[in-house]
Amino acid sequence: TIIEKSDEEKAQIIGEAMETWISAMMTRYKDDVKAWDVVNEPMLDNGTLRTGNVAEPANDEFYWVKYLGKDFAVDAFKLARQYGNPGDKLFINDYNLEHSLAKCDGLIEYVEYIESKGATIDGIGTQMHITVSTNRDNIVQMFQKLAATGKLIKVSELDVQVGTTTPSAEQLMAQAEMYKFVVDKYKELIPAAQQFGITVWGINDPNGEGFWLPDD
């Protein structure tokens, strides 16, 4: 027998669960972690906020926004600030910001909305899962838009796909050139005071097992 909870009951249950999750994480690693991705991947590629309503929900797919509404991130950042250290750096993080400039704009607008509700965000992370043929002009425009926020900016999950498991010397050179382009433009376009750093994704992947790009 399934008894459907009301929207109000769902919001209370899920809201309490989110506080339990954030408070436990922030408290447990308070002495070890000084920067957090508090909210991850909130936006759709068209620049609008996810709704959490998915046609084919995967076993591991869950969206706080479905139960808590647009202000879920407001609560998340307030809770992270409450339970973390005063000097912790709190980030919002998303992907495809260089692929869809509308998504980049939407994320920036969402940051402004969250802060208008009394929460504070220290930085924005751009994942940058890109390819050797990613539009370089878009990368430049993305960094310019992010820099204009005045926030700390980090490249959080950088990898450059070549499209094959047996790349040629030319493809590897193109990959190297794209990595260099990203780093050079980051250092050029993000003011030094806003540079939080670059994290490279998947530098070691034994036997290709479990890799998110098995054909690359």
Question: Are 158 and 185 a contacting pair, CB within 8 Å?
Answer: no
Helix H or strand E segment including 136: helix 136-147
Residue 132's φ and ψ, nearest 5 degrees, are -65, -20
- Dist. CA 53–CA 40, nearest whole Å: 17
- Dist. CA 53–CA 50, nearest whole Å: 8
- As a whole number of Å, the CA-based R_g of the chain is 19
**Of the listed 19, 41, 109, 115, which one is catalytic?**
41
Q: Which of 127, 80, 75 is nearest to 104 (CA)?
A: 127
- Dist. CA 6–CA 90, nearest whole Å: 32
One-letter identity of residue 53 = N
Active site residue 9: no
Which residues are paired to 198 by β-bridges?
155
Active site residue 61: no
Assigned token pair, 114: 């969250």
**Of the listed 19, 109, 115, 157, which one is catalytic?**
157
| Helices first, then strands: H and E counts in the chain | 6, 6
Active site residues: 41, 157
